[in-house]
Amino acid sequence: MTEKMLTKHLEDSGLGPTIYGDNDSLAFGHGGCNEGFRSFLFGTAYSGKGAVIMTNSGDGSNLITEIVRSIAIAYDWDFHKPIMKTIVILTPSKLATFAGTYLLAEENATILITAQNNHLLVKQLWNGQDFLLYPESDTDFFVIENDFLVNFESSTDAIIIGLNFAGFKWPKMKEDENEKTFHALFSL
């Protein structure tokens, strides 16, 4: 059963855990939560390295990420080490081109992006959570807390038309679609 659990079946997922690496560097992880708690399990299949972290906060994911990164540094793990990134400075007018509402229709998920200082604020409208995106190029951004990468797509005339995030394409809604969405979401 363990072998089946640690075999990739769908993308990077085994039967339960997410699978990282392969052969001698095979590792696995799984997160969980209940109201007021977050947890994460990570281990290697062959070298005996691993950690289980639990927080008593429903918003403990960022803390878990920091703890896992600290363990990776302290024990010289090849995985979960912090990735060094360079933030590039974009003009306020360039950042403003990314602002808008993006819709992932198949998941019924909508995010609102606004430009602030030298980053973008992303608000997940389905749960109210937000996070910051920092630019590493004119079209590529990253999330500091969890290494997520976001790439913005533009049309041939350099207008932002969507973004790629977590393997999904999120089209940018047009201005009139934005207005309808906001009326639907925020009207009484």
Evaluate the CA torsion angle 29, 61, 142, 74 in order and state its sign: negative
Cα separation, 122 vs 108, whole angstroms: 16
| Global pTM value | 0.65
36-43 CB contacts, 8 Å cutoff, 24+ apart: 38/63, 38/64, 39/64, 40/64, 40/68, 41/17, 42/68, 42/80
Cα separation, 110 vs 172, whole angstroms: 10
Q: Which two three-digit tokens encode residue 53?
A: 């972290």
Return the pLDDT at 182: 46
- Condensed to tens digits (0 to 9), the pLDDT of residues 50-104 reads 999 999 987 788 888 889 889 988 988 877 777 788 999 999 999 999 999 999 8
- Domain annotation for the chain: domains and CATH numbers: 2-74 (no CATH), 92-186 (2.40.128.50)
Return the pLDDT at 97: 95
Buried b (16+ CB within 10 A) or exposed e, 164-187: ebeeeebebbeeeebeebeeeeee
